[in-house]
Amino acid sequence: MSDERHITHDPASRNRQEKRCTLVGMTSDVCLSAVKIATGIVGHSSAILADGIHSISDTVTDALVYAMVRLSGKGVDERYRYGRGKYETLAAFLISIILVAVSLGLMTEGAEDVWTALHGGRLERPHLLALIVGIIAVVIKEGLYHYTRIKGVKTGSSALKAYAWHHRTDALSTSATLLGVAGAMFLGESWRVLDPLAAIAVSVLILVLAYRMGRPAVEELLEVSLPREEQDQIAAIVNGTPGVKAFHNLRTRRNGSLRVVDIHVKVDGEMSVNDSHDITRAIEQQLTEALGEVLTNIHVEPYHGHNHCEKNN
């Protein structure tokens, strides 16, 4: 919850930061792909070459995130009355699917190499250049992870948060490659099996990360309610607002970085329209201050004194 309080609430500013962050990642991935592939060929490293080919998939992910961010930044219109925040969620879900595919691919390749090594197959010794390029790639990717994650938290973008973890998995994947490269270079031919073994271990970790980012995206697409603590916070704010006698029919969900809250509040039946409107404005303001960007749909009803507060969670 602490990170949510620092979210940028201006949609135009948030979208600019999202697009800038994605372009930085896209440019870096294109350059890294070219350098890794060239190094793999020149430095006789099939591991770095494979990692470079894997990096090409990153540019596809970059393009996907950028497209979704541009779509989500178009805001509200006649067709999208709640905005286009779900495009960010869809991007996060698609990234998790891509990570699953990449993980299974790495796992299969690693298993094949282990099988080859166990049956007397020979793995070539890579050049020092491959090790140097791999180290540089890990540093760049880890830096991109921290940069993108900070922007994701600041903008409240689920797509950027997922994108950040994609950078982190790339750094882990390249680190596994480095273990294999270093083992092949310094420990002798019998240790070159470290490369595929490390790749298999990292592929399992990538699967776990894909699940962690994919599950919230699926829940949001299925319009699962906000977490219990946030619903309790909403209830406390509504109950604590002067003039509110009771409330019921609380429904919540997320739409990208936007929280949607539907609720029926009961007020004194003799209250003027202006006064009841002031109450709804006070609720909206408090929810925004507590939770960030919130879209509220508040239905006002007269309180007759015999109805009790009902929370539909």
C-alpha angle with apex 79: 76 to 80, nearest 5 degrees? 40
Please indicate, yes or no, whether the overall pTM of this predicted structure exceeds 0.95. Answer: no
Q: What's the confidence (pLDDT) of residue 125?
A: 64
What is the structure's pLDDT at 232? 92
CA–CA distance, 146 with 233 (Å, rounded to integer): 30
CA–CA dist 17, 8 (Å, integer): 10
pLDDT for 311 equals 42
DSSP symbols for the chain: -TGGGG----HHHHHHHHHHHHHHHHHHHHHHHHHHHHHHHHTT-HHHHHHHHHHHHHHHHHHHHHHHHHHHTT---SS-TT-STHHHHHHHHHHHHHHHHHHHHHHHHHHHHHHHHHTT---PPPPHHHHHHHHHHHHHHHHHHHHHHHHHHHHT-HHHHHHHHHHHHHHHHHHHHHHHHHHHHHS-GGGTTHHHHHHHHHHHHHHHHHHHHHHHHHHHHTTPPPPHHHHHHHHHHHHHSTT--EEEEEEEEEETTEEEEEEEEEEETT--HHHHHHHHHHHHHHHHHHHSSEEEEEEEEEE-SS-------
Looking at residue 300, its pLDDT comes to 92
Token pair, residue 133, equals 């390029």
Which tokens hold the place of 187? 């420990």
Topology of domain 3-221, CATH: Alpha-lytic protease prodomain-like (1.20.1510)
Domain 228-303 matching CATH 3.40.309.10: the answer reads no
User: Taking the domains of the chain in order of start, what are their residue ranges?
Assistant: 3-221, 228-303
Structure token digits, residue 210 = 């894909």
Residues of the chain with pLDDT under 50: 1-5, 307-313
Burial grade of 7 (CB within 10 A; 0-12, 13-18, 19 or more):
middle
Sheet holding 258-268, edge to edge: 246-255, 258-268, 294-303
Question: Which CA distances in Å does 192 have to 121, 170, 185?
Answer: 11, 21, 8
pLDDT for 312: 43
Per-residue pLDDT of 131-144, as tens digits, reads 888 889 889 989 99
What's the confidence (pLDDT) of residue 313? 42
